[in-house]
Amino acid sequence: MLLTSSTTGLKTPWIAALLSAALALVFISSVSAQETTPRPPITDDQVNAIAKQMFCPVCENTPLDVCPTQACIEWRELIRDLLAEGKTEAEIKQYFVDRFGDRVLAAPPARGLNWLVYIIPPIAILAGVLILIGAVRSWRKPVTATTQPTTAGSQVGTPLDDEYAKRLEEELRKL
């Protein structure tokens, strides 16, 4: 028998150690084979949802999700890799801002002078509406009788105009 030795008795501990090491390897390998559930592959829609909020580093005013340049293709692949690592949208955008500055973002952050971008357009629209309302009101006001000089030196609405109108009517009746 292998487990017992008639002369020294040394074979039993070695075999027990080998068996326990083999069992430990079986359990460890089965645990390591059971990784966490694999993440679903990152879709183009997920990548483009972030890419459309960023601008191409090469082309001016071209969103990253539609730009065909090689730099944009590489950036979209980098976004895909960062999503696969489990990064959030905010972390990915911050990654690009840290490397390339705020100019890569489609909407600048509201800090520094950038906050004016969010305040000036509403103020300009409100001012335009108020000017338009004032103009429409002035167009709708009735025109008041103003005194305008005539060629004969008389003024509109004076008794001379009434006399002239009466004489004109009398002459027209005669015809």
Most confident of 15-24, 69-78, 140-149, 151-160: 69-78
**Inside any domain, residue 115:** yes
Q: Does 54 share its domain with 97?
A: yes
pLDDT at position 5 is 46
96 and 118 assigned to the same domain: no
Residue with tokens 């009101």: 137
**Residue 134 falls within a domain, yes or no?**
yes
Q: How many domains, in total, are found in the chain?
A: 2
Res. 60 pLDDT band, cuts 50 70 90: confident
Q: Is-above-0.85 flag for pTM?
A: no
Mean pLDDT over 86-101 rounds to 88
Does 67 map to a domain? yes
Confidence of residue 126 (pLDDT cuts 50, 70, 90): very high
Residue 109 pLDDT greater than 90, yes or no: no
Give yes or no: residues 78 and 120 share one domain: no
Residue entry with tokens 């950038």: 114
Q: Which two tokens stand for residue 134?
A: 């004032």
**One domain, residues 78 and 130:** no
* In the predicted structure, residue 169 carries a pLDDT above the cut 70: yes
- Identify the pLDDT of residue 69: 86
Q: How big, in percent rounded to 5, are the helix, strand and coil portions of the chain?
A: 60, 5, 35
Radius of gyration over alpha carbons of the chain, in Å? 44
Host domain of residue 59: 44-104
Do residues 161 and 145 lie in contact, with contact meaning Cβ atoms separated by under 8 Å?
A: no
Largest pairwise CA distance in the chain: 163
Rounded mean pLDDT, 38-58: 82
**37 pLDDT more than 80:** no
In this prediction, residue 33 carries a pLDDT of: 46
**Number of separate helices (H) and strands (E) present in the chain:** 6, 0
